[in-house]
């Protein structure tokens, strides 16, 4: 047991072990790791994380790269084993659709509300011009330039 723990401590002290490699560079590993999240400390990107699980995972990423898996395949394999929350954007098509679809709908709703505000102005303006025909038109050029001046 003590041998095992000594080995463990060395891993903790130095993260170098992850990268003692030639074919796959450290930057290649980070490329994938930056798109993943530490499973233990929520919301900490994997590439910036140094706890034992993260170090293991980065070593695994390197091994999988060595085996010739593409970045996408590596992400997919982690998701399959540990769940969707280990990546920065869900891999599952439905969850992905949910994630990106809702803000789009939200933006459209916001636009619709803005448009409603605008249409209300236009509609009310039409009413006003009929009912209060004899009033001085509010949009006369002189009036407008006066406002401009007042507002400095």
Structure tokens at 41: 């400390």
Q: Which of 45, 69, 71, 76 lies at the binding interface for other proteins (CB under 8 A)?
A: 45
Count CB atoms within 10 A of the CB of residue 56.
Answer: 12
Q: Which of 6, 70, 72, 124 lies at the binding interface for other proteins (CB under 8 A)?
A: 124
- Total chain residues near other proteins (CB under 8 A): 72
119 is a contact residue toward other proteins (CB under 8 A): no
What gap in Å lies between CA 82 and CA 89, rounded to an integer? 14
Q: By CB neighbour count within 10 A (0-12 exposed, 13-18 middle, 19+ buried), where does 76 fall?
A: middle
Q: Which of 56, 70, 72, 73 lies at the binding interface for other proteins (CB under 8 A)?
A: 56
152 is a contact residue toward other proteins (CB under 8 A): yes
5 is a contact residue toward other proteins (CB under 8 A): yes
- CB nearer to other proteins: pick between 40 and 68: 40
151 is a contact residue toward other proteins (CB under 8 A): yes
Window 96-115: residues binding other proteins (CB under 8 A) = 98-100, 102-103, 106-107, 109-111, 113-114
- CB nearer to other proteins: pick between 19 and 76: 19
70: left (phi over 0), alpha (psi -120 to 50) or beta: beta
Window 61-90: residues binding other proteins (CB under 8 A) = 80-90
What gap in Å lies between CA 29 and CA 35, rounded to an integer? 10
How many CA atoms does the CB half-sphere of 65 hold within 13 Å? Answer: 22
């Amino acid at each position: 047991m003590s041998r095992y723990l000594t080995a463990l401590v060395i891993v903790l002290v130095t993260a170098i072990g992850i990268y003692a490699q030639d074919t796959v560079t450290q930057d290649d590993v980070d490329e994938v790791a930056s798109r993943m999240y530490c499973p233990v400390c929520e919301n900490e990107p994997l590439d910036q994380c140094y706890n034992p699980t993260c170090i293991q995972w980065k070593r695994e990423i390197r091994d999988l790269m060595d085996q010739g898996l593409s970045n996408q395949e590596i992400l997919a394999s982690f998701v399959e084993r540990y769940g969707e929350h280990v990546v920065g954007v869900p891999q599952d098509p439905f969850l992905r659709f949910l994630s990106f679809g809702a803000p789009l709908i939200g933006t459209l709703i916001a636009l619709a509300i803005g448009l409603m505000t605008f249409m209300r102005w236009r509609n009310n303006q039409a009413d006003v011009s009929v009912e209060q025909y004899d009033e001085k038109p509010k949009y006369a050029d002189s009036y407008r330039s006066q406002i401009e001046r007042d507002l400095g």
